[in-house]
Structure 1
Amino acid sequence: LGKLRREAERAKRALSNQHQVRVEIEALFDGIDFSEPLTRARFEELNNDLFRKTMGPVKKAMEDA
């Protein structure tokens, strides 16, 4: 799980200034390597629910400021 988290963080950071990255994790499960391209659009699509959930508290904080 740690490998997956580290690679997800690396991909997230890379996508802030690139349109596509390759997510690569050695021996992710039962010695099987994982390697897939990930676009910024796909990343945003996968995380859209999380992004929307954070907007409420962000708007509230801005109103209270």
Structure 2
Amino acid sequence: MEYDGEHHFTNRGQCTRDVERWNALLHEGWTVIRVTKAQLVPDPSRLITQVRAALGKAGAPV
């Protein structure tokens, strides 16, 4: 899970590094769930469902 805070959207260098890291993780076969504050507050239930689904798809007991 990657949290994209305000700095991600206001700092071009940070955004570029984040995208490069995200692409590298995908290339290695990782599943990356990107999250913003709006997805966490006030109700993270949809995000929790996404995380559980990703873990289940990867074979983890959920």
The reply to whether TM is greater than 0.5 is no
TM-score (norm 2): 0.33
Q: Which has the higher contact order (CA 8 A, sep 6+)?
A: 2
How does the TM-score come out when normalised to structure 1?
0.31
Larger Rg: 1
